[in-house]
Amino acid sequence: MTATDLPDLPRHVGIIMDGNGRWAQLRDQPRLSGHKAGAETVRDITRASRELGIEALTLYAFSSQNWARPVDEVAGLMELLRDFVIDERAEILDNGIRLEALGEIERLPALVREPLEELRTASAGNTKMVLTLALSYGGRESITRAARAAAREIVAGTLRVEDLDADKLGSYLPTAKLPALDLLIRTSGEQRISNFMLWEVAYAELMFVDVLWPEFRRAHLYECLKAYGTRERRFGLTSAQLADSSDV
């Protein structure tokens, strides 16, 4: 599959990578082996997205709420994240990918934070694709931080209350530099957002795929992208209005 087969390629794809634990449980394996298998899917889907020419790929890797999981699982996930950042360094740099992170990065242990920050800096000039890992991330937490930043400016007298509209508040979000989220995919069959990009999802197309993340392959991504191309995104307008504007 190439980008020419997909004329309406989304600029920004987000993925809620769910189902690692169930994948392992089905095999009588510890949950962590599911996360390991899931890390392989991350590598493959990142590569496929880069090859297709998707501009931004945002992966929900660890939520603010996932800190409450068993200590061993959290520790194992942190080690896998570190391994991912270290092992993928060369490939990310060689392929012009910029690595970014969303979330409360300061809460991550140094073993993840340090190689992550190093690769963020090293890849900062890359322009082919931005790969964003949502780590220790929550959509509500992210909006709360933005609201706090705006409140600070109001208190300091550098922002007027009446100038705080949706665009302005959105500009404080860490996703403000990314293209608008076009497509959100969740694997594992669950149909919920689980605190991912609550603000950004406003006009994203949602797709819930009944495949566990370790079994999600390029072919599944292509199916999602094809289905995305068939959807009419109206942004509140009517179909007739959209047809008129495409005539001009």
Indicate which residues carry an active-site annotation: 18, 66
Name the residue nearer to ligand IPE (CB basis): 141 or 153. 141
Q: Does 205 participate in binding Mg ion (rule CB under 5 A)?
A: no
Site for ligand IPE in 65-94 (CB under 6 A): 66, 77
Alpha helices in the chain (DSSP H): 20-26, 31-52, 71-87, 89-94, 110-122, 139-156, 166-171, 218-230, 239-247
Nearer to ligand IPE, 9 or 204 (CB): 204
Candidates 51, 55, 190, 215: give the one binding ligand IPE (CB under 6 A).
Answer: 190
What is the C-alpha separation between 247 and 243, in angstroms, rounded? 7
Distance CA 101, CA 135 (A): 7
The one segment of 15-23, 147-155, 158-166, 200-208 that binds Mg ion by CB under 5 A:
15-23
Contact partner, 62, from ligand IPE, Mg ion, none, Cβ < 5-8 Å per class: ligand IPE
Collapse the DSSP code of 191 into the 3-class scheme (helix H, G, I; strand E, B; otherwise coil) and give the result: coil
Q: Compare residues 65 and 171 and give the one whose CB is closer to Mg ion.
A: 65
Judged by CB under 6 A, the residue of 10, 14, 21, 103 near ligand IPE is 21
Closest to 23 measured CA to CA, from 33, 13, 14: 33
How far is residue 242's CA from residue 227's CA, in Å, rounded to a whole number? 19
Q: How many residues bind Mg ion (CB under 5 A)?
A: 1
**Binder of Mg ion out of 18, 100, 200, 205 (CB under 5 A):** 18
Helix (H, G, I), strand (E, B) or coil at 48: helix
Backbone angles phi, psi at 16, to 5 degrees: -90, 105
Which residues are near ligand IPE by CB under 6 A? 16-22, 60-63, 66, 77, 188, 190, 192, 194
